[in-house]
Every structure is written in C-alpha cells, then in structure tokens.
Structure 1
Amino acid sequence: MPLVQLLMNYMMRNMFPAQLHSALCQYHRTCRLNIWSFQSLSLDRPGLGRTQLSHDLPYGDPFEMDVLKLPGLRTLAINYSTKESSRPNSWIHHDEILPFVCMAPNLKHLIIRAADLLRSLNSLSFDLLRGFGPWEEILLRMANVVDLSHLRSLDTCVHTDPSMLSSAARLLKNLNRLYIHIQPWRRDQADFAADADDGGMIAAVCAFNPLQFLCLRGVRSVISLRQIFSQHGQSLKGLIIEASERARTFPARHDNGYKFPIFLDDGHLTQELADKPETDGIASCFRDAVINAAMDEKLAMGIWNIISSSQPTGRLKNLRITPFGSAFFSREEMHVLHHVSSSFLITRSGSYGDTVEIAEIGRMAWEVWREADIAEEGTLRLPHEVKEILNELWPLGPGQKKWGEMKWKSFPLQI
C-alpha cells in the first residue's frame, strides 16, 4: 500500500540512497520525508557530488540532487562549507548549493552544519556543536534565495558581527521562537570572564519583533534581561535561560544559596587556576553546583511565588523546574547532583487561577538511568573530597551510613 499517511525519518550516516529515492518516486510520492542525517551537496558532477572530502564520509554514496524535488520532503539537514580567509574576521562561502536546496517545493525545516531553499521556511537551525561558523552571514545570504518572512523558529548564534543578526531580524517578520547564544564566539577569554554581556547581541535580540518563546544561552547580567524583557516581556509565553557551557572554565564565585548564574572575576582567575595544581578550584565548583542543584518542593514553590507575584495579570499557568549541567562533572559527582536535583511541574488551575498544584516529575527516569549506569560501569565509590562536601552541607544523622541515606534539603533562594 502507498505510504500516504506515514512519515519516513532517515537517520543513517550515509547519503540518502538513490535507490530509496527511486522507490519513493515510483510508489510513494505522497510519503512525508524527514532527512535528519547531514547530507553533502555539491555541483562537481551533474546531479551528484558533495561538499566534503570522501574520508569524512565512511559510506560513499553520492547525494542525488533530485531528492530535493520530492513533494514529501519536509526536513533536510545539510553540510555548508566555509573557511576563514586571510583577512581578519572574513570568510569564504561556498553557497552555490543554497538555490538548489531552496527549490524543494514543500521543505519546512532546514538544519545547517558547517563542514571543513524553497519558497519559505518554518524553522531554521544551525548545528552549533560541530563548529562555530559565520552563522550571521549565512542567514543573510539565505535571504537572497529564500523568503524568510514566514520563518517561525530560529536556532543560531553569532560568530563575530551582531549587527548582521540585527539586519536579519528585520527580515524575520513572523518569527515567534528564538534560541540564541548571547555571547559571540569571537570574544576574548578576558572578555568572557567579565560579568557584562555583549551590547551588540542584546541589541540584536531586541531587534526582533515581540517573541512568544525565547531561549537565552550564556546570559550573564540581570540588566541584559531587563532590556530584553522590555521588548519581549509582554508577548512571551515561554522562557528558557541556560548557563554557558564554558562556565566550568571560570567557576562562579557566589555565596551559599541558589542564585542566578552571573560569572564574577577579579582579572586574575585564569592565572590563579593555572598556578594552583591542587583541586581546590574544582572542589569549590562542585560545592556550588550541589548547593544550586538541590531542589525540593519548598524551593520550587519559592521560585513560583517570586515569578507569579511580579505578574499582576497572572498569565503564568505552568512552570517546569529542571536543574541541569551535571554533564560537566565526573561520574560520581554526576550521580550526587542527580540525587539532589529533583524536577517539579507547577500548575495553576481553577476559575480564577487560585489553585496551585506541584508534582515531582522525572524521578523514574533518573532511577532507570542510575541502575543502568551502575550495571554497566560498576559500583559508585565517592572520592574523599566529595564526601567531605556532602557531610559539610548535610551531615549524616543517627543510623545513616551512606550518602544516599542523607536527609538533604534545598538552600534559601537568593535574588
């Protein structure tokens, strides 16, 4: 039977096979197709070829350009080649493939990854984990070959020039969902250690029309949040604030208690860490992480009360609180952080929104992960330094012999 109402999600490492393309053309023209594995297109051979060298692709099938003509193609992930030129802050773009990508008649979601467009798009994502390319330039170049005015979702960052993102923002008239790194990748380490955000990036975020959903990665200053909220606060339905992935390189120095992660530095932190081979810095970082990760019902309700009390309209109906960031620590430390970092879902219901309910979520998933990890990696043996920190924060009570039995609780919320 024809695959009229089914989806095909292609996630293999090799290029989308020409034989599979032929089968879809002949028997399943209406099948919706999502190609999630990154495809390498190029014009070095008629209809075939790739932008990467063959040693980067263990499976040597070429990409068939006619795949772009399939009416059911909805999602496509591609490699986009750039390289830095000899001039400072300048890039050489190999963007000949963009007009061909954009000829896909019904493509809705495009994912671009840097390697060494259709009438309109719904969402555009740049694969930020693979490399830090000139995404702001690529976005503006795409505007020359595809109508970006209907784009609704964008996940990106800026390499060097935030003003280019501001220019692109004026073209994205209907964008309602933005995921953005607040710090340009080209900032010096000395700038990173400071507690100020890049003013150009804040201006770029404010250049977008009022958004409904916003994810801010690596924001450091409450002042920056106020500026952003002055533009998007009234329209926001969802907000995510993520700490920077480089936070462990520059551990935050803050008092006991849960605080918004602002990175403070006295100008000598990098030198101090380099001059001290002992693990005092890492131990202090873990201690702060445990304090901030400790989430119980009391702290969750405290966060809810602060947010809801500053909303006269009472628009907030659902709040999910999930501590994260344990992946930067050792296996033993990660288990401790998961143990104390409960997740909660808080909902407001009732005719007048006067009933607030709170429920812990994700506990079963954590237990399954814990059991699987111990079965695969063996029994946990906490380092002496970790035990000392836990005993300082939550001393074992009478009859308690293991850290898993300790009566832990959250620390006061500090704002």
Structure 2
Amino acid sequence: MAGTTLPTPLYPLYQEKFGFSELIVTVVYAVYAFGVIGILLLAGNASDTVGRRQVLLWGLGFAAASAVCFLCATGLGWLYAGRLLSGLSAGLFTGAATAYVLELAPPGGGSRATFVATAANMGGLGCGPLLAGLLAEYAPSPLLLPFAVHLALVAASAAVLLRLPETVRERQPLTAVRPQRPALPARVRAVFVPAAIASFVGFALFGVFTSVSPAFLARFLHVDNHAVSGLVVALAFFSSTAGQLAVSRVGVARSLPLGCAGLFAGLLLLAGAMHWDLLALVVLSAVVGGTGQGLAFRGALSAVAGASPDDRRAAVISTLFVVAYTGISVPVIGVGLLADPLGLEGAGLVFIACMLLLVTSAAAYLLRRPVTAPHPKV
C-alpha cells in the first residue's frame, strides 16, 4: 500500500521536470482511483474464487510494474501508466489482503488480526509519502531511489507471500471470476446514504492532501523540504488509522457522527491554513481531518455491513468503496480545473465549501435518523 502514495511528495519535482500544470497533477493522481474502481467492479471478489495468494501475487506484480514505470519515466505517459498500475494493485490488495490476514489469524486472534489489517492498510498509505520524502530530501536521485526501494520491498513481500499457506480450499479457474455489480438493497439505503456521503468527503480530503498539498506547502508556505511535505501527508493517514482503531471503543452508532464532526473541523482548519498561510493549521487539519476520516469510514463500513443481507454484503461494501474512490478522484480533478482561473488557494476554498456542505448534510441526516447497526461485521 505504501507504493500507492509514494509519488506524493515528488509531484513538484515532476512538475519542474516535465512542465505540467496543477490540473495535470490532479489527473495523474486521480488515474489511480480509476484503476481501483475498475478492478473492484471487474474482479473485486477474485480472491474468493482463485485464492488469496494468487490475487496478492498479481497485486505485487502490478505494484512492481508501477515502480518500473516511474523509474523509466521520460514523459507524462509513464506517470499515467504508473498510477493506473498502482490503482490496479491497490484494488486487488484491498479485499484480498484483509481477508487473508483474518483467515491466517490463530484461534482467538481475530481482534488482533483486524488491528494488523487496519494498521497495514492505512499505515502503509502513510509510510509511502514519508519514505519518499525522506529519500528525496536526504538521498541522491530523488525520482529514482524511492521506486528502487519500493521494488526491493515488493520482492521481499513476494518472497514472504510464497511461503504462506493458501486459505481458500475450493479454488476455481480464473474464467470463473465475474464482474461484481454494485448493489443497494432497499433495507440498506437509510444507512448507506450518510455512510456514503461521509466516505466520499473523507476520501476527497485525502485526495487533496495527497495531490496538491505539497505544491501548496512549497508555493505559499515556502516549505521546500520534501520530508516535511511527506510527513504532513503521512500524519493524515496515521491519524486515520488511530480513528479506525477507536471505533471499537466509541461504537459504530457514535463513530459515524463523530467522524463527520472531525471531518467538518478538519476542513475548517484547512480553510484557515489556506487563508492565513499557516503550517500549524495544515498539520492540525491533517490530524483532525484524518482522525475524522478514520472514524467515519470504519463506522460507515461497519454500519453498512451490519445492515446488509448476508448474500449481498460483498456487493454492498464494494458499492461503498466505489463511492469512496470516486471521492478521491472527481473532486481532486475539480480542484485542478479551478486552479488556473482561481489560483490554488481559491480552488481549495471552493472545494472545502462544497465538502462542508456535504458533510453537514450527512450530519443532519444522522441527527434525524441515527445509525443503529446491529452486529457490525467489519
């Protein structure tokens, strides 16, 4: 998962090298989300059919191919290809790796396995920009070394994976994999609406942090240290991990409205950071907004899973992920489109205003119809 966010602090360097605009930065970033959505719809349940290990090996193959694209990048096309392949790898990892960790857990270790899966997912996303920022700032070849290190990590992961037992007993050939249609049974809709809105806003906030925040830090706050840029983005993901882990203590019913409140506060802090050009507010926005995203998304996932019929649960969860990854792509491209006429700060403020409106509507919906998810499954 670290490989999917590895280019984040490097985008200003690619802009300088290839001479493209903020819009192109956001499109390059969003291509990743389109890859994730595509694989979730076409092969989101593949590991149930052909086996966990085989799907994860495919994911590692896509991750390695993505790193090679960035290592060979001589133009914009390589960046698009690298991000698309990265999205395909993440789409395969998302469900298969989590299921594999839970299935490999010893008896009585389900709670710890859930912690490991959550920490590996969001923590890995946070480690990507942190690693790339440190290498870009303090080591040679800033556009090459991060991806060479990533290739080495992928190879090590493959070596470990090949030693693990397969947990799917009745495997079928690849031809048995069928596209998974999004589904929304009538009984889930009341829970799904606020869950989907909160997920959309949370992922949109992450999308802005991981696509344009390095440029904002460099241009308006004069933070040219790539390690600092990577750390700010990493804080958002690490805070999300903490928020997700807190759900088991605060409960699903409270985590979704609390997450909406955290997202609201994080968006306001980001608006203040853009208005007053204060690094401290950017950091606070990453921590508060990230925690809110973690609470909201884990609460949303648990509520939706708990309200879904057993035979439709996977399809409903896939639908939620499609909405979430739409949030990480479409609003970010909107920021890129507005960056030229309004400037990066103006575009960011318009984005924040729209997201505040959405998260407020989700909170208002929850006040009228509180979520009471019976026996959360996630």
Superposition TM-score, scaled by structure 2 size: 0.28
Which structure exhibits the higher relative contact order, with contacts defined as CA atoms closer than 8 Å and separated by 6 or more residues?
Answer: 2
Q: Give the number of the structure whose residues are more often helix, by fraction.
A: 2
Larger radius of gyration: 1
